[in-house]
Structure 1
Amino acid sequence: MEELQGWVGRAREVADEMSAPAARRMAAMLDQAAPDLSPGAAVPPFWLAILFDDAQPQSRLGADGHPEKGEFLPPVPLPRRMLAGRRLRYLSPLRIGQPLTRKSEITAITPKEGRSGKLCFVTVLHTVTGPDGVVATEEQDIAYREASTGGGATKPEAPAPKPDAAWRVPFNPDPVLLFRYSALCYNGHRIHYDVDYARDAEGYPGLVVNGGLSTTMLLDAAMKQAPGATLHSADVRTMRPLTCNRPATLAGTAPDEQGSRTLWVEDETGAMALRIQARIS
């Protein structure tokens, strides 16, 4: 895959804003009353996740529902993709009506051999700016994998040890919740809504819960444990797929002296499916 290294440094910009309708829909998905939607009102910074969709024409979508590779993202010759991790930094408030620009740059392309075969990680750095400067940064690790061989979509890691939880909240992702989140993000990835495709083409046992949805639900639950606090950063790692219609749990530790907390989602077996190291103070 050495020929892909020429894609490192490729960049593009997309404009967007946290509109009042988008914020109202996000609050509804989170089962909250509508927030203050007046221009300039602040909303949680992690709501940025529903902005800057990659709305490509229908004719430019791949078989998995994602935009075809080779326009911005490199033409990695591996068919399945997932977001393996992200590192989020929130630097200034996110406000209703605020014009925003996101610059995305490919910073690394790293082929590897994993438990499931060949892998390729594409690292993309997103920088979101508004009228007063940088609002947030997000560094994403996009993982590309080989086609399913029918033995399961991936070989999950051995269950990670879990710290003592200071709080736990039930999380029951159903198809409607997955649909609403995908609609908010304009995310066409078929593993989140087409169960036949998820099973037959990618080898999952059912619909896959969006990693972004799990992250959003987990950060929302954590902020409810710390009313009035500010979210500064969140380092997210996907550890195993979470399957729709199976009971899960959101959990977190008490903060240390610097406000750092470990947050995680447990699947129906009690294993960690997603982990976040967050700083909230």
Structure 2
Amino acid sequence: MNPAQPKQTSQSDVMDSARAAAMQVALGQRPTISAGDALPPFFHQLYFWDPQPPEGLGRDGHPQVGGLIPDMGLPRRMWAGGRLQFHTPLRTGVEAIKTSHCESATRKDGRTGPLAFVTMRHDIHQNGVLCLTEWQDLVYREDPAPDAIKPVPPVARTDEESRIAASFSSTLLFRYSALTFNGHRIHYDLDYAREVEGYDGLVVHGPLLAQKLMLLAEAELGPLTTFQFRATAPLMHFETAEFCRKGRDLWVRGPDGRQCMQARA
């Protein structure tokens, strides 16, 4: 890491209950959250926005790298997975402080070309108490060659105890992007997603898939203490997926049987 780069950053935000209620509505739920309530797991993604002026954005709509995340010369960003430890519930209407660290940043050569792996850690406190620790695993890679063969995704399990089908309209992707202040163009700019990054359609946010898995896990297993997930294949906005659980294992199965995400609660 360049010595001039910051080693950590801190942000504060009041966990607005109206924003959390808007997320419930976007997910098809009744808006039940009010001031003082505990946030559902992963709803902290709605807060700690980091707005940048247009000149501070990369071509993909994300803030330019080179700050806390080093620039390793690779343009395509993907949220590959993450881990969370839920220490105590975050409460709406209360100021929270998020401290972010870049724990590691490495570049390697893979079968499809150079790859960069970045792990971020975020600690969120309210009233001086650590409420949540989150690790985010990011992957950066080159643009796909026009004749590149797409990797074969893993096949999802079929031994679930429970499953819920869900579809993702472009309106839902837009609303989720807006609520999380995620400017990544693969989620709302169809021409960019297809012509620049080589996807078949708009990409459903990895964190949105993880969010739905966490809500499923909480509903069927009770309050979460830990959760980890890994994205294994993209899901497109025109596809219906199945959210599956067996014991504490969870996964997202695409319409063709491929595994899009695996997780453990």
Deviation (angstroms), 1:225:
2.4
SS at match of 1:14: strand
Alpha-carbon distance, 1:8 to partner = 8.2
Tell me the percent identity.
37
Equivalent residue in structure 2 for 1:123, among 102, 114, 119 = 119
Task: Write the distance in 2 (CA, Å) between the matches of 1:7 and 1:269.
Answer: 47
Change (3 A) 1:50 1:225: same
Measure how far apart 1:154 and its partner are. 5.2
Task: Mark the CA change 1:17 to 1:153 in structure 2 (over 3 Å): closer, same or farther.
Answer: farther
* 14-23 vs 182-191, greater mean Cα deviation: 14-23
Residues 4-19 of structure 1 mapped to structure 2, 5 A cutoff: 4=1, 6=3, 10-19=7-16
| Conserved? CA contact 2:41–2:215, under 8 Å | no
Rate the CA distance shift 1:8–1:87 in 2: closer, same or farther, 3 A: farther
Match of 1:196 in 2: 191
Scaled by the length of structure 2, the TM-score of the pair is 0.94
1:180 to 162, 165, 175: 175
| Residue 78, structure 1, aligned to residue 71, structure 2 | no
Q: Pairwise CA RMSD of aligned residues?
A: 1.8
Count of residue pairs brought into register by the alignment: 265
Instruction: Give the drift of 1:150.
Output: 2.0
Contact 1:190/1:198 (<8 A) preserved: yes
| Matched AA of 2:224 | L
Name the counterpart of 1:27. Answer: 24
Q: Is 2:237 the partner of 1:237?
A: no
1:223, 1:204 → 2: CA distance? 32
Counterpart AA for 1:110: T
- Letter aligned with residue 162 of structure 1: R
Shift of 1:16: 1.2
- Aligned pairs for 1:227-266 within 5 A: 229-254=222-247, 261-266=248-253
- Distance in 2 of aligned mates of 1:178 and 1:19: 21
- Whole-Å separation in 2 of the counterparts to 1:129 and 1:110: 29
Output the TM-score relative to the length of structure 1.
0.89
Instruction: Name the residue aligned to 1:258.
Output: none
Can you give the 5+ residue segments of structure 2 that lack an aligned partner in the other structure?
none
Task: Look up the equivalent residue of 2:106 and give its one-letter code.
Answer: T
Question: How far, CA to CA, are the matches of 1:212 and 1:169 in structure 2?
Answer: 17
CA distance in 1, matches of 2:149, 2:38: 40
Q: Which amino acid counterpart does residue 214 of structure 1 have in structure 2?
A: L
In structure 1, the partner of 2:139 is 143
Q: Which runs of 5+ in 1 are unaligned?
A: 255-260
Aligned amino acid, residue 130 of structure 1: Q
Structure 2 residue corresponding to 1:164, chosen from 159, 164, 177: 159
Letter matched to residue 218 of structure 1: L
Counterpart amino acid of 2:180? C
Cα distance in structure 1, aligned partners of 2:127 and 2:22:
25
How far apart are the structure 2 equivalents of 1:253 and 1:81? 31
8 Å contact 1:28–1:34 — kept in the other structure? yes
| Aligned residue among 216, 220, 224 for 2:215 | 220
Query: How far apart in 1 are the matches of 2:63 and 2:121?
Result: 19
1:152 is displaced (CA, Å) by 5.6
Per-residue deviation at 1:162? 2.0
Q: Give 1:116 deviation, angstroms.
A: 1.9
Q: Supply the AA of the counterpart residue of 2:259.
A: M
Cα deviation, residue 46, structure 1: 1.7
Query: SS of 1:42's equivalent?
Result: coil
Measured in 2, the distance between the counterparts of 1:25 and 1:152 equals: 40
